[in-house]
Chain A
Amino acid sequence: MIQTSQLSYSYPASSALHFPDVDVAQGSVVLLSGPSGCGKSTWLALVAGLVKPGAGSLTVADQSLATLTGMAADAWRARNIGFLPQKLHLSAALTVAQNLAMAQWAAGQNEDPQRIAATLVSLGVAELARRKPAQLSGGQAQRVALARAVLLSPKVLLADEPTASLDDEAAAFAITLLVKTAQAQGATLVIATHDARVAPLIPLAANGQPGYTALKLSRQKASL
């Protein structure tokens, strides 16, 4: 589902970031970790098709992203990528259901109330559909943001620091929910985090091995 080889990216007038090669299958979990400034955001941006690789190859959902630009990249991202940001960015002007409808608008799709309702039901927040984000608790807001991320059945679900500022119990609940939701959707889940609590929260594979592919980035990987 995600394959990279010799992948690197250069910011203007800055050093190049080099990333380890990965090859993960559909439905798997990738744990992207590393200290601040190591390139986690850049890797997410590359996988989401927001920036073009400086060098190397990058294929996501059978699409080479090296040549994908502009509107085509936007349309591909709408179809294939779901995103759960650290700050949830639910629009205060809209109700929960309208926040989900906004995702369909952004993807250029017609509003589909049945699909919105079904997604909210699957995440246990159907009764919140008419509420504004200000009326939600932190946990409810995160579920709604997750509903927005998976509404369009993405092939890859990117979660950026999903446990930041959560206590242990809430963090465990958030990771369990993320993994279950991604599995239910058949999506590859990428969790970008520097939170050491996350890895043990991901269920083990059937063979008893860790249930995720670890992708550790470090500042040492960067070179001029």
Chain B
Amino acid sequence: MKTIALSWRYLWSRPLGAALNVLLLSLGLASITFLLLVSFQLDKAFEKDLAGIDVVVGAKGSPMQLILCGVFHIDVPPGNIPLKALKALEKNPLIASVIPLSLGDNLRGFRIVGSSHDYLTHYAATLAHGRNWDAPMQVVVGSIVAKKLGLQVGNSFVGSHGLGAGGHLHGDNPYQVVGILQPSGTVLDRLIVTDTASVWKVHEDYSAVDAEDRKIMEDEREVTMALIHYKTPLAAMSFPRMVNTSTEMQAASPAVEISRLLNMLGIGTDVLRAFAGVLLLTAGLSVFIALWSAVRERRSDLALLRMLGAPPGKIAALLMGEALWLGVMSAALGVAGGQALTALIGWMLQLDNSLLIGGLVWPVELLWVPALACGVSLAAAILPAAGAYRVSVLELLQSR
């Protein structure tokens, strides 16, 4: 019989106590797993979606709203900006590239984004099926959109007005699916992308009352915002200030806004982390009390083991083995619970076509969970194990 097997049997000789300790430890570990997974996936999503975007230019309003809408597509835009103003910015010597984005319609909650081919190139998107658009009213569809809506190359659909489902249908301007994108892990997965001209056409056809009206609208065309990449990092010193002070537009830096957002989220994360810490501490105390009681209850049994020749270290190892089992089981349950919770939250967010998080993600940081579980349970076992180490056989002989 191995020490670890004997520990297992001793542990489950008190099934209710052992199960409660495992449950208590698991709750704390599940919270930590959840925090690790969400934080890992958000960081990854932010990193991918923000790559290469130095500044977002859009209508004046909340800069964070502009970033959340323009980069992550999880908020509404603050307004539109004139196309002419954007064209003027394109000529600025500090600017390397400008990707226009035009929003306004959706298909069952998935946003239809008017842009240029540069938008797909920026995220290194590749096509799983079909081809890229070469004319207005043709779309390529993100992998999640295609999967959830069952869209295939050759399908047609009409968009509805607004960014959420339920707006009126632009029935006279159907889109045609010409391509399906490979999954990329970026925001493109949940977008329908078309030429900017498609968005103009749909809305001009809908709004223009006559040819003259259409001519005016064509002259005053707008886009929602633009993603801009600088030629030089030094542009960050002057370009946003120039836009914010001398135009009707605003320039928002994704790095600044995301840092602000993470700081705000950080308060909530800290509260959750502290809560998980309290749970773990409570669980550690509970393990300590359970093992301490076990040593007191089994003092004579342990003394008998000494009488049978077991060295004190082996007796202490028996207690540490019980703690290790608690840690290992709690880690397994905690990770499973954390993954399930993350998957649930991810599922709820996906229903809203929002940020992409989910379960069954295994970042290397997750190794902290079993390490923490075993650390807490073994630390809780140190004093009881020391008690077991010092068990005196004379007590056994003298206890009649």
Residues in A lying within 8 Å of B, measured CB to CB: 36, 41-42, 44-45, 48, 50-51, 70-71, 74-75, 77-79, 81, 83, 85-87, 89, 91-94, 98, 101-108, 111, 148, 160-161, 164
Contacts and interface: CB of A to CB of B under 8 A. Distances in A.
Interface stretch (B2-10, B271-279, B372-380): B2-10
A86 B307 CA distance: 13
B362 interface: no
B12 interface: yes
B397 A45 contact: yes
Given A78-B309, A83-B308, A93-B10, A45 B394 contact: yes
B400 interface: yes
Contacts of B298: 91
Given A85-B396, A89-B301, A91-B301, 6 more contacts: A71-B311, A91-B298, A98-B9, A105-B3, A105-B310, A107-B309
A5 to B, nearest CB: 23
Instruction: Tell me what chain B mostly uses at the interface: helix, strand, loop, or mixed.
Output: helix
Contacts of B310: 74, 78, 105-108
A79 B309 CA distance: 8
Contacts of A85: 304, 307, 396-397
A76 to B, nearest CB: 8
B398 interface: yes
Interface in B352-397: 393-394, 396-397
27 contacts: A45-B394, A48-B307, A48-B393, A50-B306, A70-B311, A74-B309, A77-B309, A78-B309, A81-B309, A85-B304, A86-B400, A87-B399, A89-B300, A89-B396, A91-B13, A91-B301, A93-B12, A94-B9, A98-B9, A102-B1, A102-B6, A105-B2, A105-B310, A106-B306, A107-B308, A107-B310, A161-B400
A172 B290 CA distance: 42
Contact of A83 (B2, B307, B398, B400): B307
B314 interface: yes
A65 to B, nearest CB: 14
Contact of A98 (B1, B301, B305, B307): B1
Nearest to B400: A86
A89 B308 CA distance: 12
Interface of B: 1-3, 6, 9-10, 12-13, 298, 300-301, 304-311, 314, 393-394, 396-400
Contacts of A105: 1-3, 6, 310
A92 B400 contact: no
A34 B2 CA distance: 40
Contact of A104 (B1, B9, B13, B396): B1
Contacts, number: 88
A87 B398 CA distance: 11
Contacts of A148: 308
B12 A106 contact: no
Contact of A41 (B1, B301, B397): B397
A186 to B, nearest CB: 20
Max chain B CB contacts within 10 Å: which of A51, A93, A104? A93
A89 B300 CA distance: 7
Max chain B CB contacts within 10 Å: which of A87, A111, A148? A87
A87 B399 CA distance: 8
A105 B315 CA distance: 11
Contacts of A77: 307-309
A91 B398 CA distance: 19
A192 to B, nearest CB: 9
Contacts of A89: 300-301, 304, 396
A107 B400 CA distance: 25
B307 A50 contact: yes
A164 to B, nearest CB: 7
A164 B315 CA distance: 29
B13 A111 contact: no
Contacts of A102: 1, 6, 305, 308
A174 B3 CA distance: 32
A8 to B, nearest CB: 16
Contacts of A41: 394, 397-398
B394 A50 contact: yes
Given A50-B393, A87-B300, A89-B300, A103 B400 contact: no
A134 B9 CA distance: 16
Contacts of B396: 85, 89
A164 B400 CA distance: 9
A102 B304 CA distance: 11
